Structure 1
Amino acid sequence: MRECVALASSRFQPAERISLRMTAELENLVARVRACRICVENPAGKPLPHEPRPVLRPSSTARILIASQAPGTKVHLSGMPFTDASGDRLRSWLGVTSDEFYDIEKFAIVPMGFCFPGQDAKGGDLPPRRECAAAWRAPLMASMPRIDLVLTIGIYAQSWHMGAARRPSLTETVMDWRSIWENSIGPKVLPLPHPSWRNTGWLKKNPWFEMDLLPFLRSEIRYRLG
């Protein structure tokens, strides 16, 4: 099986330390995810246009889960989530350093699709592969019992984690963040737009996001980091 770059990169944390943050059950589950080839051998639609390279960082000890969409081209190459401009913006939103963000004891990062899905005719990233969440998300969530804050980035994560609480559009969902927070059952949930540069226009049209939601988000993050 291909070595788990996203979990064992010494640039961020020694592999032996990371293993301490995963139970044997979770380690076994992640190994199965690493070996998964559903999107190539039994795809829901067109097969993945390249070899699978799952990128995820689950944790048995982290309290914060970043439920993102899917790796982009740079993350596909690096094998580490959010090693791009979107990651820089996301860390700014959270008010954390790179060291804090990549501390697997503090943050779990589990996207809806584990592999880069490819691009459409206009050069935009395709949606996350449906096979990943259907096969793996429920058991992964069950193996991360300490999660008490889920940051749902984009409509795919919001649909899975929020169900009927998600509004018809992403803007409506994020605007309703206070109600979603107050009515969360189990882990608290905060909906976020994707931190991509493509959403810069959205941020300018919705200044309340940076004025109201982000200070609250940073406070909750800092509370959990101690």
Structure 2
Amino acid sequence: MPEPLAELLREIRGCTLCADHLPCGPRPVLQAGPSARLRVIGQAPGRKVHTTGVPWDDPSGDCLRAWLGLTPTQFYDPDTVAVMSMGFCYPGKARSGDKPPRSECASHWHGALNDRLLDVRLTVLVGQYAQAHYLRGRRKPTLTETVKAAKDYLPLGYLPLPHPSPRNQPWLAKNLWFEEDVLPIVQTAIRSLAL
């Protein structure tokens, strides 16, 4: 019989699997409750989130919550919204932005965590790493094409989104269809969950 979610969350928050590779040390950041209906899977915490320990507690999070049509109170309620990442810890800086998420988290923790989130009805996949892992062969050749086909993934319980980082402003400016066509689909799907 699987261990209760609270015990698993304690284990994840105490994880040191890849400590030797993390420039700021391990600090797994996530939230989940057994009755969560929405699951948001991102890339990895940024430096600010590493400091606060609060998922999406940065300008990217402000943008994501606006896209989803959720208030901070709604978003940060673990009984309705589970928030996890492909990598639970800040991976450090790269030449352009942050490093990719470490692979240890998804392979070691995601299966056990997802097995305990039995009420999830919709999973938002933020960015290419989450989409590659969860959509696998159903993903389109590019992130742009995958996001553009968001409606096609709804019957599977997924909604792919680009990363809401301020660094993605050029992508958003180039792809105006995202706000016009995709965000209404996203917000309608979120409202249907009655969070």
Deviation at 1:118, TM superposition (A): 0.3
Unaligned runs of 5+ in 1: 1-22, 42-46
Is 1:127 equivalent to 2:96 in the alignment? no
Residue 57 of structure 2 corresponds to: 83
The code of the aligned residue for 2:28 comes to P
Aligned to 2:161: 192
How far apart are 1:159 and its partner, in Å?
Answer: 1.2
CA distance in 2, matches of 1:51, 1:126: 14
Letter in 1 for 2:15: C
Distance, in Å, in 2 between the alignment partners of 1:52 and 1:222 is 35
1:146 aligned to 2:119?
Answer: yes
Contact 1:181–1:190 (8 Å) recurs in 2: yes
Q: Where does 1:97-112 land on structure 2 (aligned, <5 Å)?
A: 97-112=71-86
Report if the CA contact (8 A) 1:67-1:153 is conserved. yes
Letter in 1 for 2:165: S
* Aligned match of 2:18: 39
Count the aligned residue pairs. Answer: 194
User: Which structure 2 residues correspond to residues 1-226 of structure 1 after superposition, within 5 A?
Assistant: 25-40=4-19, 47-120=21-94, 122=95, 124-182=97-155, 184=156, 188-225=157-194
Between structure 1 and structure 2, the one with the greater Rg is: 1
**Aligned-CA RMSD value:** 1.5
Q: Report % sequence identity.
A: 44
| SS at 1:225 equivalent | coil
Could you tell me which amino acid in structure 1 is paired with residue 111 of structure 2? A
Deviation at residue 90 of structure 1 after TM alignment = 0.6
> TM-score, normalization: structure 2?
0.95
- SS for the counterpart of 1:38 is coil
CA contact (8 A) 1:106 1:225 kept: no
Give the 3-state SS of the residue equivalent to 1:173 in structure 2: helix
In the superposition, the TM-score normalised over structure 1's length comes to: 0.82
Q: Secondary structure at the match of 2:40?
A: strand
Unaligned stretches of 5+ residues in structure 2 = none
- Match of 1:91, as an amino acid? R
